[in-house]
Amino acid sequence: MIDKIKELITEAEDFKTQSKEEIEAFRIKYLGKKGLLNDYFAEFKNIASDQKKEFGQVINKLKKTAEEKVNTLKEAVENSQDDKSIYGDLSRPGEPIALGSRHPISLVKNQIVDIFSRIGFNVSEGPEIEDDWHNFTALNLPEYHPARDMQDTFFIQTNPDVLLRTHTSSVQVRYMENNKPPIRTISPGRVYRNEAISGRSHCFFHQVEGLYIDKDVSFADLKQTLQYFTTELFGKSKIRLRPSYFPFTEPSAEVDVYWGLETETDYKMTKGTGWLEIMGCGMVDPNVLENCGIDSKEYSGFAFGMGIDRIALLLHQISDIRLLSENDVRFLEQFKSAF
């Protein structure tokens, strides 16, 4: 009988569970009124005198082992339930964190800034509410100049000399006024023009304009810079420059990149020619340099400007420019995987 009790002690020591029901069944089996311990205590009177001491010791050990096991298992189960009530089921997978996404305008702007920063251009910014001097007059557009009609302007009614800037060239004027050549800067920002809103145009949009002023800057330097830019941004190196007119550059040109005619979309975008206009450029007019306090006999330079919105439409195949400003979450979520 002593050997049987020793086997029960070993069995009690090895017992493991996380179930309240199984713990209670274990307690009743060993410690209940009709449990094994009561049965063995009742048998004590029938044990031979020379075995009573050992018999009593093993019974007490079985009782102590069973009680400690019940207390330990109950404590473990209670602690586990406390954790679940505070933190939930710790074994469950965590809730996915929704990833944000950059706006396509920001994506393209950051790409452009990164490309020009590799060849030494810094970033300059200025106010969106401008005065007439920085937005027009300093850029070779004096009052009543017919070229002002090219840019339908939002003027501040109480002060006709204050307006919403029509281009970020005004930032270049401010930069030239406060910095001496050599100057190599790009000016990204939002601009405003009083135009009808449609799928192809908006009353506000985004530009990046570039400026390089130094000694002996030539049109060849301008072309090489634009060649590098189009290759890096579009992966297309074939460009052409067509003569054009801008009041603040002379000579001036429109820049086209050869997009190709590989798909039906290419035909629509390029109107069947394969060429796509992406920006305007030219050599800075000497009058603009003089207006900004730079000696035009010693320094020359080039400038260029492009619409970020239009490039975003091209790169991401967006059909309507209005989508860029309507804050439709379904549209914006498409750019989560973009860099």
Find out whether the peptide bond into 93 is cis, omega within 30 degrees of 0.
no
Residue 233 in any domain: the answer is no
What is the mean pLDDT of the segment spanning 313-318?
84
Residue with tokens 């460009």: 239
Measured distance CA(37)–CA(31) in Å, rounded: 6
Higher-confidence position of 7 and 184: 184
Residue 10 predicted with pLDDT over 90: no
Q: Does the pLDDT of residue 122 top 70, yes or no?
A: yes
Answer yes or no: do 118 and 212 share one domain: yes
**What is the number of domains present in the chain?**
2
Which residues, including other chains, have CB under 8 Å from residue 268's CB and lie 6 or more apart? none
Phi, psi of 149, rounded to the nearest 5 degrees = -70, -15
Q: Which domain holds residue 290?
A: 104-220+286-335
Based on the fold, state whether residues 112 and 198 are members of the same structural domain. Answer: yes
Q: Among candidates 5, 8, 10, 12, which has minimal Cα distance to 58? A: 5
For 296, residues 6+ apart whose C-beta sits below 8 A from its C-beta are 286, 287, 289, 290
Give dist(CA 250, CA 54) in Å, integer: 115
Counting Cβ atoms within 10 Å, is residue 226 exposed (0-12), middle (13-18) or buried (19+)? buried
Report pLDDT digits (tens) over 236-253.
889 999 999 999 999 999
> What is the average per-residue pLDDT within 170-176?
95
Would you say 289 and 212 are in contact if contact means Cβ atoms under 8 Å apart?
no
Query: Residue 324 pLDDT more than 70?
Result: yes
Q: Is pLDDT above 80 for 120?
A: yes
Last residue within a domain, chosen from 43, 60, 87: 87
The average confidence (pLDDT) of the chain is: 85
Which residues touch 243 (CB under 8 Å, ≥6 apart)?
251, 252, 253
Q: Which structure tokens are listed for 196?
A: 């009808």
DSSP letters spanning 280-324: EEEEEPHHHHHHTT--TTT-EEEEEEEEHHHHHHHHTT-S-GGGG
Among 233, 223, 232, 218, smallest CA distance to 255 is for 223
In a domain, 43, yes or no: yes
Looking at the structure, do residues 56 and 108 belong to the same domain, yes or no? no
Predicted local confidence at residue 29, as pLDDT: 80
Q: Which of 66-70, 87-91, 220-224, 273-277 has the lowest mean pLDDT?
A: 87-91
Are 166 and 296 within one domain?
yes
Last residue of a domain, one of 87, 117, 145: 87
Tell whether 173 is covered by a domain: yes
Identify the pLDDT of residue 4. Answer: 76
For residue 15, what pLDDT is reported?
Answer: 81
| 51-65, 115-129, 144-158, 188-202: the lowest-pLDDT one | 144-158
pLDDT at 229 over 90: yes
Q: Is the pLDDT of residue 78 over 80?
A: no
Query: Two tokens at 93?
Result: 């997978």
pLDDT at 338 over 70: no
Look at residue 193 and tell me if it is in a domain.
yes
Same domain, 110 and 212: yes
Among 48-57, 237-246, 260-269, the range scoring the smallest mean pLDDT is 48-57
**Residues 290-310, mean pLDDT to the nearest whole number:** 94
CA distance 323 to 333: 12
Q: How confident is the model at residue 82 (pLDDT cuts 50, 70, 90)?
A: low
The answer to whether position 80 is within a domain reads yes
pLDDT at residue 296, as a whole number: 94
Write out 60-120 in H/E/C secondary structure. Answer: HHHHHHHHHHHHHHHHHHHHHHHHHHHHCCCCCCCCCCCCCCCCHHHHHHHHHHHHHHCCC
Confidence tier at 180 by pLDDT (50, 70, 90): very high
| Rounded CA separation 289/284 (Å) | 7
Give dist(CA 337, CA 339) in Å, integer.
Answer: 7
**CATH code of 118's domain:** 3.30.930.10
**Percentage of residues of the chain with pLDDT beyond 90:** 41
Q: How confident is the model at residue 291 (pLDDT cuts 50, 70, 90)?
A: very high
CA distance linking residue 47 with residue 39, whole number of Å: 13
For the cut 90, the answer to whether the pLDDT of residue 304 exceeds it is: yes
**Tens of pLDDT along 126-156?**
999 999 999 999 998 877 766 666 667 888 8
**Choice among 15-19, 86-90, 196-200, 277-281 with the minimum mean pLDDT:** 86-90
| pLDDT of 164 over the 70 cut | yes
pLDDT of residue 219: 96
